[in-house]
Amino acid sequence: MRHKSNLKELKDKNKKRMLKILINNGPLSRTELSQYTGLSMTAISDLAEELINEKIIKESGIGPSNGGRRPIMLELNSDNGYIVTFKIYRNNLSCILFDFNLNKRDEREIKFNYYDLPFLQKIIVNFVNDIEFNLNKENKKIYGLGICLNDDLKELNFRGVLSTSISSDYMTLSQALSYELDIPVVVENEIDLKSMAEYLTFGTNENLAYIDLNDEVRSSVILRDGRVNNDINIGHMIIDRNGPECPEGHKGCLNTLVTVKALIRKIVALERNHINDKEFLSINSVYKFFENDTINKITNDVIDALKVAILNLKNLLNIKLFVFDGKISKMFNVVDNLQKSLNDVIIKQSFVNDEDILKAAAKLTLNKIIY
């Protein structure tokens, strides 16, 4: 009996491997799946047949010839079901429905005036149930839920209240929604989903760092297997040990050197004799009111600090691709300036939109469905 159990576990494991490869690289032929997994063609054919019968994957057409007969391609069965994704703001939800091949099938928005977590939980549950009611008429269903928490919600403690006929208990929002809807739920911060969206957009197998330069330095690192590394806080990386101290007590960290507040303080110090009106003291007024020498000095300081951070991350985590976003990166032409002085890494400006972000949420949810 144990032998049969081991064989079933191995088969399930190999099915999951096949599905994960199809998520990341599909559609693929049986030969390509054999090359990706290292499994024999016979094993791949048997597993593919079972997955087709289970309506999890399907044959999607004829692929290009490599000298012999043109292969039949396999992909996830987009007719099988959907993943619903939400981006949560303070007074509205944007929703996109994706199929299993991450194609957008529908897009909606919900607006509301009152905001707390039980209320939000109820809105999401009712909305998903309404969508699924219509899908059930077509013998389709929702298999998972992906949620992006907008940046301005980061200070909230996202624990919903789940009430049953027996008792009430505090759970995370994902736990509460998964319990009520009986589907896998993934809840991620926007910064991590942006980095995942960039990773998917570039189609890279390299480690990637997404760095947002605004009122604070925020970052997210994606490893080459698609995992988010949550242990790296780039904002507190020490760049200048003799530099100013941040509120958390770190001297000369990135947050004290390349944020909006840090640059305004530096500009004030450089242009102390020319500043008569505090209304001018915004980062947007820099180019309008200050001399080119001041701007050049600030720009060079920003680039020098970021170069140190990039080289540290490159050596520490073997990161080859850096994506910058935020007001500071655009105003001071960070990408072009850094790329000119660093030849062994790729530096890009972020251009992902909300659809890209929710597609990343859908992909993470799809992986959770499989596993």
- What would the pLDDT profile of 221-241 be if each residue is shown by its tens digit? 988 766 776 667 888 899 888
What order of strands is seen across the sheet that includes strand 228-229?
228-229, 217-222, 207-213, 319-325, 346-349
Break the chain into its structural domains and give their ranges.
2-76, 82-183, 201-353
State percent of the chain over pLDDT 90.
20
Class of domain 201-353: alpha beta
Give 40-71 as a 3 state SS string: CHHHHHHHHHHHHHCCCEEEEEECCCCCCCCC
> In sequence order, what E strands does 164-253 have?
168-172, 185-189, 207-213, 217-222, 228-229
Cα 53 to Cα 51: distance, rounded to the nearest angstrom: 5
Structure tokens at 130: 């309404």
- What integer pLDDT is reported at residue 291 of this predicted model? 61
Distance between first and last Cα of the chain: 24
Is residue 325 predicted with pLDDT exceeding 50? Answer: yes
CATH topology of domain 2-76: Arc Repressor Mutant, subunit A (1.10.10)
Residue 185 phi/psi, 5° resolution?
-130, 130
Whether 82-183 shares its CATH topology with 201-353 is answered yes
Q: What is the mean pLDDT of residues 20-44?
A: 84
**How far apart, in whole angstroms, are the C-alpha atoms of residue 116 and residue 285?**
37
Q: Is the pLDDT of residue 166 over 50?
A: no
Q: Residue 96 — very low, low, confident or very high, per pLDDT cuts 50/70/90?
A: very high
Collapsing DSSP to helix, strand or coil, 323 comes out as strand
Q: Coil, helix or strand for 210? A: strand
pLDDT band at 165 (very low <50, low <70, confident <90, very high): very low
Report which listed range, 132-146, 221-235, 250-264, 356-370, is most confident.
Answer: 356-370
**Residue 368 neighbours by CB under 8 Å, 6+ apart:** 144, 184, 186
Taking the domain 82-183, which CATH number applies?
Answer: 3.30.420.40
User: What is the mean pLDDT of the segment spanning 190-217?
Assistant: 88
**201-215, 227-241, 298-312: least confident range:** 227-241
Query: pLDDT grade, residue 273 (50/70/90)?
Result: low
> Which backbone phi and psi does 333 adopt, to 5 degrees?
50, 45
Question: What is the residue-wise DSSP string for 69-127?
Answer: SPPEEEEE-TTS-EEEEEEE-SSEEEEEEEETT--EEEEEEEE-S---HHHHHHHHHHH
Single out the residue of 206, 261, 211 nearest to residue 232, CA to CA.
Answer: 211
Residue 160: closest CA among 5, 152, 149? 149
pLDDT above 70 (res 286): no
pLDDT of residue 365: 92
136 has a pLDDT exceeding 60: yes
The mean predicted confidence, pLDDT, of the chain is 81
Per residue in 110-135, pLDDT tens?
888 766 777 888 888 988 988 888 88
pTM confidence score: 0.80
d(CA 71, CA 60): 11
DSSP state letter for 351: -
The mean pLDDT value for 196-208 works out to 85
The answer, yes or no, to whether the previous bond of 27 is cis (omega within 30 of 0) is yes
